[in-house]
Chain A
Amino acid sequence: MTIRRWLAVGMVLLLSGCATGAKYEEVKSTIPALAPSEGRIYFYRPSALGAAVQPDIKLNGQKVGTAKPHGFYFVDRAPGNYEVSAATETEKKLTFTLAAGQERFVRLKIQIGLLVGRIVPELVDRTEAEGELKDLSFIAEPLK
């Protein structure tokens, strides 16, 4: 097999692990309004690097989805304190507060570890997040 064929196979494998579907810009206007008594947390993974690494994403210990490359989803929760974790080679947690009517953005960043990649959840400004979200695909049912 030539190098070009190997590269093509590699690209197919890489992209097959990525989220597909409607982009953020397309679904933005259809996203339901936030209930006044709740806050919203967006999760997104902008990079396809380490696409095979797709750990469960947990919010206060409860699974809310996976770290699918090029995908995003959101959950609505009551105001309070929250902890995001992604169990990979090592676990790095993120803690933050959520107020009623507030939207929070959590970027799931891939970091190369000793043996495999690991996912680091980072709290991101709205402006930065919206710039990265526009090319990502909505995962309507993140738990499947």
Chain B
Amino acid sequence: MGSGVRWMFLMALLGLGLSACAPEVVRRPTQVMPMADEPGASIEIVENASISVGPGYQRVIDRGSVWTRVGRSVEGDVFKPVDRVFTVEGAHIHEAYLVLDGDRVVGFYLPVERAFSPVPGGTGTRLSIRRRQP
């Protein structure tokens, strides 16, 4: 086996090994308070945005997707996807909602775990959004 082929084989094995050992999604407990003002307010994504959702995992927030505001946590406003699903991924996969500070994604709310997961790296992506009133 040539050294180039051997190197590629080792890298492939390493990649497979790492993908099998992804760390858990970082999260901490949080509480989402329902919004008394502007119930049913939503946002529409104007441009595709790629965001990191876990160690080595990316998701695309699609242009045209609509997210309805379901409440507010101390980290920001919580938006649930309408007619689509969104997940974050690490060792496991979790259904998730977006947590926004203005138009910046600061993290994700995990409804099953009732937890907040900050955007990996700490600097959130700005979304191009259009606000829609009910």
A and B bound?
yes
Query: Using a CB–CB distance below 8 Å, which chain A residues touch chain B?
Result: 81-83, 89-90, 92-97, 111-114, 118, 120-126
> Is B112 in contact with chain A by the CB < 8 A criterion?
yes
Residues of chain B in range 89-124 having any CB-CB distance to chain A below 8 Å = 91-95, 110-113
> Is B48 in contact with chain A by the CB < 8 A criterion?
no
The reply to whether A114 and B93 form a contact with Cβ atoms under 8 Å apart is: no
Q: Min CB distance, A90 to chain B, in Å?
A: 5
State in angstroms the CA–CA spacing of A90 and B20 once bound together: 7
Beta-carbon nearest neighbor of B90 in chain A: A92
- Which residues from chain A contact B87 at a C-beta distance below 8 Å? 94, 96, 122-123
> Is B13 in contact with chain A by the CB < 8 A criterion?
yes
Q: Min CB distance, A13 to chain B, in Å?
A: 24
Q: How large is the interface on B (under 10, 10 to 19, 20 to 34, 35 or more residues)?
A: 10 to 19
Query: Using a CB–CB distance below 8 Å, which chain B residues touch chain A?
Result: 13, 16-17, 19-21, 83-85, 87, 91-95, 110-113
The reply to whether A96 and B95 form a contact with Cβ atoms under 8 Å apart is: yes
Interface of A is mostly: strand
State in angstroms the CA–CA spacing of A90 and B19 once bound together: 10
State in angstroms the CA–CA spacing of A120 and B91 once bound together: 11
- Which residues from chain B contact A90 at a C-beta distance below 8 Å? 20-21
State in angstroms the CA–CA spacing of A30 and B84 once bound together: 25
Q: Min CB distance, A134 to chain B, in Å?
A: 19
Could you show 21 A-B contacts with beta carbons less than 8 Å apart? Answer: A82-B112, A83-B112, A92-B91, A92-B93, A94-B92, A94-B93, A95-B94, A95-B112, A96-B87, A97-B111, A97-B112, A111-B19, A112-B16, A114-B13, A114-B20, A118-B20, A121-B93, A122-B87, A123-B93, A123-B95, A125-B85
